[in-house]
Amino acid sequence: MDKEQPTTSTNAAQAKDQDHNPLLDSPMRGPTLSTSTSSFEALAHAHDPNLTKLATKMFQKTEEYITHELNAPLEDYKLLEEMNKATIAKYKDMRQIAENLNVSTNELCVKFQQLAPLMQQIDEISDTVDKLEAAAYKLDAYSIALENRVKCVLQRKSSHHVG
């Protein structure tokens, strides 16, 4: 069976003593609401002024150190964020360039396909021209040979008339 705890002022005092942490007590003023474990109190008059000044300076330097230590990763993350933004922009540019190249390549492919029959005709004409050129050389050679024969015949006729 459940035991019910009586609610007496003794139990409240015991609970208060269990929650009490002597590390949170100020040496000058007793328990405080602060969670600081420092025994330094800025308004304490029992301390040496030089010690107070040095302690204050130490806390300021400690604060600066901790602030810089905490800000360093933050700056790293900011740098990474800027680098990521720059990378995203570069990739967007590269994507646009790739898309433009794809469009241009497709257009060139279509133009090549349209020009393929014309290039075939050009090849056929070139072959015909080569054949005509060969025929022209043969004709030229034949005409030179014929001319030489005619000259030879004419020279024989003229040498027979003279003699």
Which of 2-6, 52-56, 154-158 has the largest mean confidence?
Answer: 52-56
pLDDT tens digit sequence for 9-50: 445 445 444 555 555 454 555 554 544 555 555 554 556 889
Question: What are the Cα distances from residue 136, in Å, to 10, 82, 93, 157?
Answer: 133, 75, 60, 31
pLDDT of 27 reads 52
Reported as a single tens digit per residue, the pLDDT across 62-110 is: 999 999 999 999 999 999 999 999 999 999 999 999 999 999 999 999 9
pLDDT of res. 158? 84
**CB-based contacts of 46, cutoff 8 Å, min separation 6:** 28
Q: Which residue has the higher pLDDT, 143 or 30?
A: 143
pLDDT value of position 45: 55
CA–CA gap between residue 153 and residue 147 (Å, rounded): 10
Helix (H) or strand (E) holding 30: strand 30-31
Joined together, the tokens standing for residue 39 give 């025994």
Q: What is the average pLDDT across 100-128? A: 96
Q: How many CB atoms lie within 10 A of CB 122?
A: 11
